[in-house]
Amino acid sequence: MKRTLPEDCTEIQKQSPLASSGVYVIQPAGGSTRFKVYCELRSDGGWVVLQRRTEGVLSFHRGWRDYKYGFGSMDDDHWLGLEKVHLLTKEKYKKWTLRVDLWDHEGGAAYAEYNNFKIGSEATAYRLQVGRYSGTAGDAIRGAYAGIDQNGFGFSTIDRDNDGCSPCIFGDIAELECAFSEGGGWWYSSCGSASLNGDWHPFGDHIGWASGLHWLTWKGPAPYSLKATRMMFKTE
């Protein structure tokens, strides 16, 4: 008999309620692709980790291919890969919640959750879709002011520009590519208020960098680079 793999981290938790967080192999519904994910198994569900930052050793200053397929190691800092998130969230019969956890350098923490989370195919530049916001960090994806909504935007990297700036004007600065100034890859929309894949900065050197880990509806307006971040998603 062919062994069937769990479709996601929620199913792992359902099959083994005592299972602990760690690296598991899953196979998204309706496909034959299987891959490793880090499952954060908690009382509020089984979460697939998309992104984790805790230090500066692993560079996030990378191109399209790395953001597509993922990089880093699953049980440490990493980026799961947009193609895998697409394969999981394209399933018609499931709905997903995205959770973003943020930690500052002073011992504080905040989070943002979005229902109806989905990532489009590569043909849409892995377009971001999020629904209703809830949480304590503010809705930085929709932005601290109008015109910078990242919901519905494609992904940009240093070698793939989908940021809507041609150029964008910020004061006396003309910005052509958000991925160059803010770093890493993100669903930049006229750059915007959220950017968690830039350069990691240690305590004491964490204020003022355009390239830092930003969630400006929680820490702003002066660019504050967060100590740690985690993005993860689970079925609703």
User: From the CB of 159, what's the least distance to Ca ion, in Å?
Assistant: 12
* Of the residues 50, 163, 217, 225, which one makes contact with Ca ion according to CB under 5 A: 163
What CA–CA distance (Å, rounded) separates 221 from 163? 21
Q: Candidates 100-108, 174-182, 195-203, 213-221 — which segment interacts with Ca ion by CB under 5 A?
A: 174-182
- Contact assessment for residue 99 and residue 47, using Cβ atoms and an 8 Å cutoff: yes
231 binds Ca ion (CB under 5 A): no
Please say whether the beta carbons of 9 and 41 come within 8 A: yes
Q: Contact letters (x/-) for Ca ion, 104-143, by CB under 5 A?
A: ----------------------------------------
Task: Single out the segment in contact with Ca ion by CB under 5 A; choices: 67-75, 113-121, 176-184, 219-227.
Answer: 176-184
Rule CB under 5 A: say whether 165 interacts with Ca ion.
Answer: yes
Residues with Cβ within 8 Å of 77's Cβ and at least 6 positions away in sequence, in order, are 52, 53, 54, 55, 57, 58
Candidates 20-28, 34-42, 154-162, 212-220; binding stretch for Ca ion (CB under 5 A): 154-162
**Sign, Cα dihedral of 176, 181, 187, 193:** negative
Does 8 sit near Ca ion (CB under 5 A)?
A: no
Residues binding Ca ion: what is the number (CB under 5 A)?
A: 4
- Gyration radius of the chain over CA positions: 17
> At a CB cut-off of 8 Å and minimum separation 6, what does 112 contact?
99, 100, 102, 133, 134, 135, 136, 137, 138, 139, 140, 141, 215
Report the alpha-carbon angle 173-156-8, nearest 5: 145
Q: Which residues from 71-110 bind Ca ion, rule CB under 5 A?
A: none
CB of 63 to Ca ion, least distance (A): 16
Tell which one of 8, 83, 113, 161 touches Ca ion (CB under 5 A): 161
Q: Interface with Ca ion by CB under 5 A: which residues? A: 161, 163, 165, 177
